[in-house]
Amino acid sequence: MAEMAMFPLGSVLLPAMPLQLRVFEERYLLMLSGLVAAEDTRFGVVLIERGWEVGGGDHRFGVGTVAEILQVAAEDGMVGVAAQGAGRFEIVEWLDDAPHPRAEVRTLPDLVWDDGLEPLREETEQLVRRTLAEASEFAETGWSPDVELADDPMDRCWQLAGIAPLGDLDRLTLLRATSAEELLNKTAELTHDARVPFSTPWPEDEG
């Protein structure tokens, strides 16, 4: 177990996915200052279950992702943070939020890639990209259907889960996957469910 600075958010960070933050709240500025001073490049990200994070009082889910800080820069009176999702963890115990949220965490094992899953990965990627293309005709999805993904197969699986047009509770389900096969199958299943409204043809105008 280890103590980790925590940043509860209204969205799920998955491994191998980018994270951009504009930090202005004092307690998180203090958190970043402490991390920089300690030459620590990691903090934890968890999804807020209910409530509102600003000022505290929120309730948080018990599994999250380590964010590896890539860059910190001051901008317009705020601090911009560029980070990337790394390993996963589960909360053992929340500590006092003063001066900022902290928790005792237990590292979850990394998922292991199996080359035998390559056909499933290819099929899942085709589904995700096709769904992104269909969804982009109705709303802003945040990711292009042609977005470039990592060469590393395990990172690529996580990125497929990250770019699929899903809600955060679905992403939380994917974050809890216990194998690469489960991650791919669940990503495909949830993407297929999300795809139905986009792929259903409009009823013909009978008037």
Same domain, 133 and 82: no
pLDDT 10s digits, 152-199: 999 999 999 999 999 999 999 999 999 999 999 999 999 999 876 655
pTM of this prediction? Answer: 0.88
Q: State the amino acid at position 207 in one-letter form.
A: G
> Of the residues 39, 73, 107, which one is the last residue of a structural domain?
107
> Of the residues 107, 137, 171, which one is the last residue of a structural domain?
107
Are 175 and 11 in contact by the 8 Å Cβ rule? The answer is no
Local structure of 139: helix, strand or coil: coil
Segment 2-13 mean pLDDT: 95
Which candidate, 69, 55, 75, 60, places its Cα nearest to that of 19?
69
Are 172 and 187 in contact by the 8 Å Cβ rule? The answer is no
Segment 30-35 mean pLDDT: 92
Under DSSP, the state recorded for 24 is -
Are 134 and 198 in contact by the 8 Å Cβ rule? The answer is yes
pLDDT interval class at 1 (50, 70, 90): confident
Same domain, 177 and 102: no
Alpha helix segments (H runs only) across the chain: 26-37, 118-135, 153-163, 168-175, 180-199
pLDDT 10s digits, 67-101: 999 999 987 778 999 999 999 999 999 998 889 99
Q: Give a yes or no: residue 204 inside a domain.
A: no
Average pLDDT, the chain: 89
Residue 195 has what pLDDT? 79
In the chain, the number of structural domains is 2
User: Strand 2-9 vs strand 42-50: parallel, antiparallel, or unpaired?
Assistant: parallel
Quick check: bond before 8 cis, omega within 30?
no
Q: Give a yes or no: residue 91 inside a domain.
A: yes
Residue 98 has what pLDDT? 86
Same domain, 122 and 81: no
Same domain, 101 and 123: no
Instruction: List the domain range (segments joined by +) for residue 147.
Output: 115-199
Q: Give a yes or no: residue 40 inside a domain.
A: yes
Return the CATH number at 123: 1.20.58
